[in-house]
Chain A
Amino acid sequence: MRYLPLTKNDREEMLNTIGVNNIDELFSNIADKVSINPKFNLPNHKTEMEVERHLSLLSDKNLHADNSNFFIGGGSYKHHIPASVDHIIQRSEFLTSYTPYQPEISQGTLQYLYEFQTQVSLLTGMDISNASMYDGSTAAAEAVSMAKRITKRNEVILSNTIHPHYADVIKTISGIKDNEFVYNRNFSIDIDYLFNEIDENTACVVIQNPDFFGSCYDLSSLAEFVQSKGALLIVVVTEVLSLGMMKSPGAMGADIVACEGQSLGNPMNFGGPYVGLLSTKNKYLRQIPGRIVGESEDVDGKKGFVLTLSAREQHIRREKATSNICTNSGLCSLAFTIHLTLLGEKGFKNLSRLNHESALNLKEKILKIPEVKLLNKSFFNEFTIALPIKGEVFVDRMAEKGVLAGIPVSRLINNNKELDNFIVVASTETNTEDDMNSYIEAANEVL
């Protein structure tokens, strides 16, 4: 077995030292109660080549962003990742280290996390950020739990255009009862409805921006109103590149920002692992869940970094902790920060604009298809169109032609017939003019 260093001889010597005759003696207290060494209906070990062959066959069965014409977004985006990102995250010292509990031999991880926290705070326009969460959806759920702790109120209002799966995650994780949860799945955001629902029981209002359908909003007046009622505004961002062209959530007055950071440095991976970003105002510092890195100095007065504010966390506070979160998304946050460092201010804003431009170009072309309508009054790199046929049928037919044409809204919202013909389409810097022309050609054939 190539991964197990002990030889037969080693094992015998070691058993001798311990003073037992065979390995099962070490399991004897278990064997007294239940049968050990059961027979499994599983194959025996395989060579590296055999394993590789098997998994490659499974991989080959999938259409993917590099062998198709790819236009899907909805919380997971195809972007180009510079080669050096993957090189660095595969360095042993990053890949095979643990949570930085011993700061003297973990400064590499601690320093990049400190840099990551700074970059995230700058992007979101907030005071502080933690060292990452599992993904955007769980970050949003933790933001809601945080708002409930801060305001000591229970009612949560979700805007109607938040990603439907994000809404489900928030509801499940934050343990919101049906009567404490206001959410109405439909296409357009209804600001008046939100204003009307907010009252003295409201802990927070959660808005996604750009929303699930791709539209962008200035939330400044909403933020003011929400806060005037003693509630918090949580802004969710699923496409972090949008922050290169939009007012920051912080500038609009957000109290907590929860983002999905996958777009920088991380491939789509069929849904994970991703990296959640969570930022807030200084005054809520001690209510933020998860790992946080802070600056300090060592006994010689040298500057260094260390995990801090851990008295909030589960390993110390146990049942009184702010959250049960233990891990962050270490390696994904490393990929994120490397990609952002490679881009820099200029590159990030440029990449953001290239995404917008790509979507603008696709929109122009798509609207030439008869009976196709754009539903957005604004968008960043994805938008929603109404088709003359059901979205699901369209997307399946397009897939047969090698085009992954978007997300049929009915896949996520299956109880609102009005949305059946809608699809959400994304276009990024990776889509060429030729890709778009093939999309239009295929669409004209299937419609």
Chain B
Amino acid sequence: MKNSDKGLNHDEPILFEIGGMDKSGVDLNEPTFKENFIGDCFEDREIGLPGLSEPESIRHYVRLSRKNYSIDAGLYPLGSCTMKHNPRLNEKLARLKGFSEVHPLQPLSTCQGALELIDEISIWLKELTGMKAVTMTPKAGAQGELCGMLAIKKAIEARNECNRTKVLVPDSAHGTNPATAAFLGFDVVTIKSDKNGRLNFDDFKENVDKDFAAAMITNPNTCGLFEDDIIEIANYIHDAGGYLYCDGANFNALVGKVRPGDLGIDAMHINLHKTFSTPHGGGGPGSGPVVFSDILKDFCPAPLLKQDEENYYLVENHNDKDIDKSFGRLCVFHGQMGMFVRALSYMMSHGSDGLRQVSEDAVLNANYIKSSLEDILTPAYEGYCMHEVLFNDDFLSGTGVETIDFAKALIDKGYHPMTIYFPLVVHGALLVEPTETESKNSIDQFIETIRELASKTQDGEDFFKKAPIYTPIRRLDETKAARNPVLRWQKNDVIAAE
């Protein structure tokens, strides 16, 4: 293979080009049994899995890792994603053997500490949100949405009002909201945002009728704005016999400062991987516990954690009498325990006082960026924002530069871009979420960089269209990838390449 490395910028071939069928990085004893007990389906087949020795493996993955941007290496202002620092204490504690090496179906007498931990994090979440009940099992935010909406569906069935099939979702919502509602067979009606970036309450009211089941509202919403009418909306929903589901993806703006339970919501998921800093890991694993109001708590999924005088125990089968109204089960065991340990460690480290400081600093940082850039970028809405600030692409108009080009140029300046083209309600959206774990120096430097790039847009589009140029790979042809999907390596790839 030809060497095209440049300094620290190494190319790394794919595993299937460097691994060997006779190579291994694990020493194992030889099995000695004579006859197997597998039966008819036994087969000694050739699978085709290449192996690497330990030094080769480490080099392969370390070289790959160096092609990734990360929050540890720099500001990661992805709006709606809350890329904050991931404390290493949390990683250490999640690896305690009394958590990591415990089996989910051990006798309950042997895992009381694990159950107690689930109880503790439940108490924190209920207290911080001011809600009556919590279910810890959802595997991620989107599954949390599914959980909340299943509870709502079950509650509607319990009232014998199955005609209620309509779910209202603002046009600024995360795509998971309408997808979740539709997945459950609800009819999704999109509600327009008003000129202030908030849900249009009049349009909302017009769509509430006898078929109305629920609304799914993100608060603060994806424009980084608090839904000022939320209490009036909640009352309106309840008077109409419906439920209010809140997408809690943006809880980082409120934690320790405002209790969602005071806003009239009936169910809300919390992304432990956003607000409570469990690492994003390149796209998971997440964890999406859901808090419930009194009227929905009986419909929670199995398992249910309970406590008698001496012990914790789990109600696991949803025909058991304690949970006979439950809508069912969302995953095989008890949820993302590894994430609970990390999140509890984070909550205890901050405490009630520190968590309030979290939301205050997150909101402060976002507004500071807004104030420092509003003369050169174009904020999508007037007024203070919450933990993230949204710009539209008016500042690019006439330059030939598009939002995507601006984002790619930011990469060449050493930053991960902000979220772009979301929310859909703002043209060429740029959504910036700095989080509370950035220092003022770091934010000042980011502001400086954005200002420099924004002025540069006046010098023509060329610089931006070419970007990025300093990355391991430049802009990729996404059309080609989608037209002729190549989703795995095949033996004949090599032959073709040779």
Which segment of A170-178, A190-198, A224-232, A434-442 sits at the interface?
A: A170-178
B8 within 8 A of A: no
Q: Which residue of A lies closest to B50 (CB)?
A: A344
Task: Identify which of A41, A50, A94, A395 contacts B282 (C-beta below 8 A).
Answer: A94
Q: How far is the CA of A44 from the CA of B337 in the complex (A)?
A: 24
A304 beta carbon closer than 8 Å to chain B: yes
Which residues of chain B have C-beta atoms less than 8 A from A173's C-beta? Answer: 146, 330
Interface segment among B223-231, B236-244, B290-298: the answer is: B223-231
Inter-chain contacts of A50 with B (CB < 8 A): 348
Once the chains bind, are B257 and A27 in contact (CB under 8 Å)? Answer: yes
Residue numbers in A under 8 Å from B228 (CB-CB): 29-30, 32-33
Q: Does B458 contact A (CB under 8 A)?
A: no
Tell me if A172 and B330 are in contact (CB < 8 A). yes
B104 / chain A contacts, CB cutoff of 8 Å: 76, 268, 270-272
Q: Given A52-B93, A94-B65, do A62 and B102 touch, yes or no (CB 8 Å)?
A: yes
CB <8 Å contact, A218 and B39: yes
Q: Which residues in window 31-82 of A have CB below 8 A to B? A: 32-38, 40-46, 48, 50-52, 54-68, 70, 72, 74-76, 78, 82
The residue that A399 contacts in the complex, of B14, B72, B109, B482, with Cβ under 8 A, is: B109
B404 to chain A, nearest CB (A): 10
Q: Which residues of B contact A379 (CB under 8 A)?
A: 37-38
Q: With A95-B86, A327-B142, A331-B284 given, is the CB distance from A299 to B475 under 8 Å?
A: yes
B349 to chain A, nearest CB (A): 5
**A70 vs B96: C-alpha distance in the bound complex, in angstroms?**
17
- The residue on A at minimum CB distance from B471 is A104
User: Which residues 1-52 of A have a CB within 8 angstroms of B?
Assistant: 1-7, 10-11, 13-15, 17-20, 23, 25-27, 29-30, 32-38, 40-46, 48, 50-52
Could you count the A-B residue pairs with CB atoms below 8 Å apart for me: how many are there? 691
Is B331 a contact of A93 with CB atoms below 8 Å? Answer: no
Q: How far is B374's CA from A19's CA once the two chains are assembled, in angstroms?
A: 13
A95 contacts B281, CB within 8 Å?
A: yes
A186 within 8 A of B: no
Q: Are the CB atoms of B140 and A84 closer together than 8 Å?
A: no
A84, A105, A330, A399: the one contacting B281 at CB < 8 Å is A330
12 extra interface residue pairs, beta carbon distance < 8 Å, beyond A268-B101, A327-B285: A34-B262, A45-B351, A59-B98, A68-B110, A91-B62, A118-B16, A118-B488, A118-B489, A302-B474, A324-B180, A344-B20, A399-B106
Smallest CB separation, A17 vs chain B (Å): 5
Knowing A63-B110, A314-B176 are in contact, say whether A115-B127 is a contact too (CB < 8 A): no
A180 at the interface (CB under 8 A from B): no
Q: Is there a chain B Cβ closer than 8 Å to A269's Cβ?
A: yes
Is B163's CB within 8 Å of the partner chain A?
no
Stretch at the interface among B203-211, B390-398, B434-442, B448-456: B434-442
Question: Is B339 an interface position by the 8 A CB rule?
Answer: yes
Q: How far is the CA of A4 from the CA of B320 in the complex (A)?
A: 46
| Interface 0/1 of B484-496, CB less than 8 Å to A | 0111110000000
State whether B329 touches A340 (Cβ < 8 A): no
| B83 in contact with A98 (CB, 8 Å) | yes
Q: Does A155 contact B (CB under 8 A)?
A: no
Would you call A62 and B39 a contact (CB within 8 A)?
no
Measured between alpha carbons, how far is A62 from B341 in the docked complex, in Å? 14
Q: Does A117 contact B (CB under 8 A)?
A: yes
Cα distance, A75 to B331, chains bound together (Å): 12
Name the contact of A106 in the complex, choosing from B67, B102, B302, B486 (C-beta under 8 A).
Answer: B67
**Interface 1/0 per residue, B438-479 and A, CB below 8 Å:** 111010000000000000000000000000100111111110
**Selected contact of B107 from candidates A84, A138, A175, A396, CB within 8 Å:** A396
Pairwise interchain contact B67-A111, C-beta atoms closer than 8 A: yes
The 29 sampled A-B contact pairs (Cβ below 8 Å) are A27-B363, A34-B231, A42-B127, A46-B349, A59-B97, A63-B106, A88-B58, A93-B70, A94-B70, A98-B78, A98-B282, A104-B473, A105-B68, A106-B67, A111-B12, A172-B328, A209-B41, A267-B100, A270-B102, A295-B486, A298-B474, A313-B175, A314-B179, A318-B179, A318-B182, A326-B140, A341-B52, A345-B50, A414-B319
Closest CB in chain A relative to B40 CB, distance in Å: 4
Report the bound CA distance from A95 to B150 in whole Å: 32
Q: For the complex, is A372 an interface residue (Cβ under 8 Å from B)?
A: no
- Complex Cα distance, B258 from A35, in Å, reads 7
Residues of chain B within 8 A of A296, CB atoms compared: 476-478, 480-481
* B488 near A129: Cβ-Cβ < 8 Å: yes
**A347 in contact with B330 given A84-B58, A105-B471, A107-B67 (CB within 8 Å):** no
Decide if A323 touches B352 in the complex (CB within 8 Å). no
A368 near B: Cβ within 8 Å?
Answer: no
B-chain residues with CB within 8 Å of residue A88 when the two chains form the complex: 58, 61-62, 65
The residue on A at minimum CB distance from B181 is A319
Tell whether, in the assembled complex, residue A36 and residue B285 are in contact, meaning their CB atoms are under 8 Å apart. Answer: no
A94 to B61, CA, bound (A): 10
Most chain B CB within a 10 A radius of its CB, from A89, A111, A171: A111
Are the CB atoms of B182 and A319 closer together than 8 Å?
Answer: yes
Taking a contact as CB atoms under 8 Å apart, the answer to whether A55 and B29 are in contact is no
Do A306 and B68 form a contact, CB below 8 Å, given A121-B488, A272-B334, A396-B109? no
A46 partner residues in chain B, CB cutoff 8 A: 348-349, 351
In angstroms, Cα B88 to Cα A124, docked, is 36
Per-residue interface assignment for chain B, residues 326 to 350, with 1 indicating a CB less than 8 Å from any chain A CB and 0 otherwise: 0111111111111101001100111
Asked if A128 and B257 sit within 8 Å, CB to CB, the answer is no
Asked if B37 and A1 sit within 8 Å, CB to CB, the answer is no
- Nearest chain-A residue to B414 (Cβ)? A105
Q: Is B142's CB under 8 angstroms from A66's CB? A: no
- Which residues of chain B from 40 to 95 have a CB within 8 Å of any chain A CB? 40-52, 54, 57-58, 60-62, 64-73, 76, 78, 81, 83, 85-87, 89, 91-93, 95
Q: Could you tell me if A65 and B328 are in contact, using CB atoms closer than 8 angstroms?
A: no
Residue from the set A52, A134, A248 with the largest chain B CB neighbour count within 10 Å: A134
Indicate the member of A14, A132, A271 with the most B CB atoms within 10 Å. Answer: A271
Evaluate contact between B477 and A97: CB separation under 8 angstroms. no
Is B201 in contact with chain A by the CB < 8 A criterion? no
Q: Is B252 interfacial (CB-CB < 8 Å)?
A: no
Within 8 A of B (CB), among A191-232: 209, 215-219
